[in-house]
Structure 1
């Protein structure tokens, strides 16, 4: 479902050459390759055998993320994966260790925090526009994806649900703004044990729900703010929002599942919100891959890093454990807030020779 967005963008960036598409269903791989002008398609093993392939973009379902990443790393390829990095921390640690041992890089979605909307929020926050951040409210709420997704079952299995499917957008955005989280607390609920597919060839089919579908979390950013976050597939009222309250004002951020605005600010004496200008790239999914490719060539750190993806995975795992045990959980890993993209960073301007 997401590969079309990646392929449209990656085949348009001059610093990335898309060589091949792989899938368990080689017919689907061939169709995607043909649609986007990619010269080769086949199985993963066939693609990994191509010496000119340097980087694998892993868009499989969550249960396959670690296995595909490990196979790719063992073939000598860098890896960029869709979220989450793996189903659990043990799998993720194996991926990170394999990459480190081979001198290879791991990158991970989401890369929406590199879009113009959230990058402009980073600049606004760092400029002191709202003073020191004190409190954050984040929420993503809906009745779930089964009304529109033709095969939504995996979104209600381990590695998904509202926390693991949508949480990475919000948690990655918060870490990029405020830095790492030190501890969490949470409550978990599941409204129904079964759901019904609402569209497509499987419309009307019942399927089981294996994960919490309503999650409330408290996040502690040491030395800065605390945040409350809601991730829900049980809400009749839809919400997608992040608000940061500071000592001198507040920021209302754009939906972190997008790359654009609007970005709003409200000062302590303002009667209402006003819109801030948004600048930066809005090219869409794949800019994290492009930043990784350019960083490999330059020998510089990449922004949508494996360390950031691992920290967000530990946050989600700790939130789940906290809800199950009714206790605060400490977060061991850390990840520095990535440096903002340069003002002149252009995905369509070739920089690599």
Structure 2
């Protein structure tokens, strides 16, 4: 029978800028919008961020461009398919065409679900990330991972879809509760562990100024973290190899979030995940006990949890945690893989490694 080949060779430039702003936020945002030349604008935000920063954003946007605001409830429990459907229906009612632009104003949940909407609305429209939390600024807004959660696990339905720009206003962080500052700092510490020993010791030695958002130290933290994430994403956009190092702490961390019904902050779950996965690395003879202790120390120093008791999980969830790890998108044929540190500032050369369930269970038991 005949065989016909369809040759599609892509040569796309998906590059974009990350802008770390304060007073120049408005002019930067307007310049980016004007360069895109959208026929209409949609701003997606949540019920908390809308009270704090929506008016600031709307006052900046070009008045001649028709604009819709879509607000959803705040919280990880709303990062689901029903929310995506609701946003899409509002945009369809509004009548945005393929030349429209969507702006994600909020934290990681808003960025993830809005980016996923942009990736599928009319088979793809432009969007801009305007992150308002530390976690979103240094991690989730960069790299193009967009997704929603399901009862079967976190971020199980999604896509890789890059924004046209990431534009952050560090003054937005002045309204961030200290718990959410710590939430973001967990991912900052992760970046240091996987890639930058000097940055790790900077964090260890500058805790008070960092946690209190000293502007000079804050800009260094954000810029360094963004540079680490950028280099990884540039090397491996769709996680076929090197990008797996960013999953450090996330195999266990996502399981923690899942068994809690997403009631535990992402950074807190990842913090515990990093301790447990570092302990697994040490038990496998990869990470030294000294470096394990330093990792645990810096997380505790920043007020982050280092065991499962601190996030109020009990041993009766352990089997469910392992089940979620088996079903995680990083697993292969139901076998659990993890990205493990070999030292502070460096990960294993294979980027991820198969972990025996008996070892996972043993280490989990130590941390309840």
State the TM bucket, normalised to the shorter chain: 0.3 to 0.5
Q: Which has the higher helix share?
A: 2
After TM superposition, the score normalised by the length of structure 1 is: 0.34
Q: Which has the higher strand share?
A: 1
